[in-house]
Amino acid sequence: MTLSPRLRKSTLTVHVISSVGLLGAVAAFLILAVAGLVGRDAQTVRAAYTANGLTAWFLIVPLSYAALLTGIIQSLGTKWGLFRHYWVLAKLLLTVLAVIVLLLQMEGITYLAGVAAETTFSDADLIGLRRSIGLHAAGGVLVLLATTILSVCKPRGMTRYGWRKQNEARAALAP
Amino acid sequence: MADLPSYPGAPRWVKVSAIVVAVLVLLGVAMIVTGVGGPHGPWRHMSGNDIPPTGVTEGTRGGQAPLEAGNR
């Protein structure tokens, strides 16, 4: 399956916007999570976790789905393929991992946002959950930085499957 | 038809990345097994003290004085 040039450019544009937007959204989430952890002002702490809940539900989750979906469409609809080049495969694995971890974290993020909307935190309240959310957000930023670098650099290297497919195609074209 | 050329193997960056990922995974597993990382799962971070009791009122949770607005 090969995408038409117009469709390829459209999905590429959506992919770049969603991927880079996701990195920015997770970075903003991380800053809010840190503000929630170290903040001494009750209103700031509550606002940080409330904003984190909204950011996660209405920005990070939709962008992560969009980035994953458009990435898969892009790779399957172009010469790159999904399993032919190591950099594409690495991006796929990292993105799937990030989405799984995000979905596992959503319950805690939602709970924390709900508590922040209803009550005032003390320093020790939900500290394990608050640290965990910050730690996972930091990990998310690193993973998304890695996928962005992979996209830009496209380091060489074909998988065994990609190598075989490439040579089969060359052999088929040979006179 | 001529034989296909043999596969040259994975490039160095793939091997190095695989080793780094393997070390990180082992480290994570070790932290979970030894208990350093605490119990894992979405709710692992919430001990009994983390879960607010029902009927709790603002400013009394956790047995500590809450952070007051403007309390810097």
Query: Is residue B60 pLDDT above 80, yes or no?
Result: no
Half-sphere exposure of A50 toward its Cβ, with a 13 Å CA cutoff? Answer: 13
pLDDT tens digits, one per residue of B13-47 = 999 999 999 999 899 888 878 877 655 655 554 55
pTM: 0.81
* CB < 8 Å to A109, chain B: none
CB contact under 8 A, B43 and A107: yes
pLDDT score for B62 = 40
ipTM above 0.90, yes or no: no
> Sorting pLDDT into bands at 50, 70 and 90, what band is A175?
confident
Average model confidence (pLDDT) across chain A: 93
pLDDT beyond 70 at A44: yes
Residue B52: is its pLDDT beyond 50? no
Which residue's structure tokens are 């996660």?
A56
**Band of residue A83 on the pLDDT scale cut at 50, 70, 90:** very high
List all residues of chain B from 20 to 59 with a beta carbon under 8 Å from chain A: 38, 41-47, 49-50, 52, 56-59
Question: Does B63 have pLDDT greater than 50?
Answer: no
The pLDDT assigned to B6 comes to: 86
User: Which runs of consecutive H residues, i.e. helices, occur in A80-153?
Assistant: 86-118, 127-153
- Is A128's Cβ below 8 Å from some Cβ in B? yes
> A82: pLDDT confidence band, cut at 50, 70 and 90?
very high
Position B46 scores a pLDDT of 54
Per-residue pLDDT tens digits for A87-141? 999 999 999 999 999 999 999 999 999 999 888 777 677 888 899 899 999 999 9
The answer for residues whose C-beta is within 8 angstroms of residue A67's C-beta and 6 or more apart is A15, A18, A19, A22, A95
Decide if A122 contacts B65 (C-beta within 8 A).
Answer: yes
Q: What is the DSSP letter of A60?
A: I
Flag whether pLDDT at B69 surpasses 50: no
Least reliable range by pLDDT among A32-36, A50-54, A65-69, A113-117: A113-117
Give the Cβ contact number of residue A47 at 10 Å.
17
Separation CA A89–CA B46 (nearest Å)? 35
B62 close to A (CB below 8 A): yes
- Which residues, 6+ apart, have CB-to-CB distance to B68 below 8 Å? A42, A120
Q: How many CB atoms lie within 10 A of CB A51?
A: 17
A17-31, A52-66, A157-171: segment of lowest average pLDDT: A157-171
Question: What tokens were used for B10?
Answer: 């994975």
CB A136 within 8 A of CB A91: no
